[in-house]
């Protein structure tokens, strides 16, 4: 049974920029842990199969691979390190 709805606090980049570096890194670690656990529980290959079965690609203006490439490869990140890491890991992942 899926979990009940969880109250969330929406964050925007401007608000996050006001945080200390330590707070920003802690958020990054939490997001990374979440992504790791999600992919461990539901492998990417299984997600793609479900997306195809449910025809989710037909609902989007663009597929995830195109969207992620645009967001990670075509954009320039705030710091050179973020830019290098985003592009390196996207290239490895894709």
Per-residue model confidence as pLDDT tens digits over 5-57:
666 677 888 888 899 999 999 999 999 999 899 888 888 888 889 888 888 77
Residue 1 has pLDDT above 60, yes or no: no
Indicate the pLDDT class of residue 60, thresholds 50, 70 and 90.
Answer: low
What angle (nearest 5°) sits at the alpha carbon of residue 53, between those of residues 68 and 48? 30
- Residues whose CB is less than 8 angstroms from the CB of residue 90 and which lie 6 or more positions away in sequence, other chains included: 68, 69, 72, 73
Instruction: Please compute the mean of the pLDDT values over residues 1-5 and round it to a whole number.
Output: 57
Q: Contact at 8 Å (CB) between 52 and 46?
A: no
Instruction: Name the residue ranges covered by the structural domains of the chain.
Output: 13-93
């Amino acid at each position: 049974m899926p979990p009940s709805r969880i109250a969330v606090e929406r964050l925007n980049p401007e608000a996050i920029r006001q945080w200390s570096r330590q707070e920003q890194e802690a958020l990054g670690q939490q997001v990374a842990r979440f992504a790791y656990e999600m992919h461990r529980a539901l492998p990417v290959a299984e997600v793609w199969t479900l997306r195809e079965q449910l025809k989710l690609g037909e609902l989007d203006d663009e597929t995830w691979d195109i969207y992620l490439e645009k967001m990670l490869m075509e954009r320039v990140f705030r710091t050179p390190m973020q830019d290098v890491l985003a592009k390196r890991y996207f290239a490895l992942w894709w």
